[in-house]
Amino acid sequence: MVNGFGGRNDLGDSAGADPQQTIQELEQQASKDKEALDKLLVAYQAQEADISEMKAQVETLNLELIDKETEKEGINNLLSNLRRQKDEMEVDLAKANTKIPYLESKLEKTEELLDREKARLGQVLTVAEEIDESNQAAQSELSARDDWYVQHMQLFEDLNEAIQTRHDMIDRAIATAKDIHSKQESFQAQKQAVIEEIKEMTPEDEGQDEAEESSSENE
């Protein structure tokens, strides 16, 4: 009969055998069973370690799966945004295609205006050069005039002083003429007063005056 650990049960067969031999056989069988149990325990512990490692791997895979799902959701959102942007770009492209003829026409007109402005700019530059040349000539003339003025400054100062002296003389002459005129008016007034007094004199006074005048003439 085979026991649970793979040994044989010889108790019934060795009922008449030597007890000492039976004990030794039992001890040998127990030793074999213990060795088998130790091997089973080691295998069990190894399986537990493998199971723990597999659980950790499963947990890690679950976390990675969650991350992948999150990443997948993000990618889906990105793809959705890209599709929407693509649709918008296609719409914009369609609008742009419709605007191209208008823009080309506008570009041609702009180029024509640019050519005209270039021509005008050339004319303006020509005029500017002429003005600059005239300005330089004017500056030269002004410099020459300033030099001439500096060279003749004393003459101008003397002339200014002479003009001022003449103005002073004229002012004095005018003042003198006004004074003479005032004196003449006063003299005329006094003369008129004397004439009036003479007119108011009596005939006797007139005769006496005439006699005095005749006497004076005779003398």
Q: For residue 162, is it within any domain?
A: yes
DSSP string, 145-166: HHHHHHHTHHHHHHHHHHHHHH
Last residue of some domain: 105, 125, 151?
151
CA atoms within 13 A on the CB side of 118: 6
Tell me which residue of 126, 43, 73, 142 sits closest to 81, measured CA to CA: 73
In this prediction, residue 149 carries a pLDDT of: 73
Q: For residue 57, is it within any domain?
A: yes
Examine the domain organization and report whether 147 and 58 are in the same domain.
yes
Contact 5, 39 (CB under 8 A): no
Examine the domain organization and report whether 47 and 108 are in the same domain.
yes
Calpha distance 55→42 (Å, rounded): 19
Examine the domain organization and report whether 170 and 114 are in the same domain.
no
- Band (218; pLDDT cuts 50, 70, 90): low
Calpha distance 46→200 (Å, rounded): 175
How far, in whole angstroms, is CA 210 from its chain's centroid? 112
Examine the domain organization and report whether 76 and 29 are in the same domain.
yes
Rg, Å, the chain Cα set: 74
Supply 129's token pair: 């050069």
Examine the domain organization and report whether 120 and 134 are in the same domain.
yes
Q: For residue 201, is it within any domain?
A: no
Q: For residue 132, is it within any domain?
A: yes
Contact 8, 2 (CB under 8 A): yes
Q: For residue 166, is it within any domain?
A: yes
Examine the domain organization and report whether 68 and 170 are in the same domain.
no
Last residue of some domain: 134, 151, 168?
151
Examine the domain organization and report whether 45 and 127 are in the same domain.
yes
Examine the domain organization and report whether 71 and 87 are in the same domain.
yes
pLDDT in tens, 96-119: 788 778 778 888 888 888 888 888
Examine the domain organization and report whether 57 and 122 are in the same domain.
yes
Q: For residue 77, is it within any domain?
A: yes
Q: Is the pLDDT of residue 186 over 60?
A: yes
Domain that holds residue 88: 10-151
In total, how many domains does the chain have? 2
pLDDT in tens, 91-100: 888 887 887 7
Greatest mean pLDDT range, 78-82, 96-100, 118-122: 78-82
Supply 74's token pair: 């993000």
- The three state secondary structure string of 57-112 is HHHHHHHHHHHHHHHHHHHHHHHHHHHHHHHHHHHHHHHHHHHHHHHHHHHHHHHH
Q: For residue 43, is it within any domain?
A: yes
Supply 5's token pair: 């650990």
Examine the domain organization and report whether 41 and 122 are in the same domain.
yes
- Output the pTM of the full model: 0.27
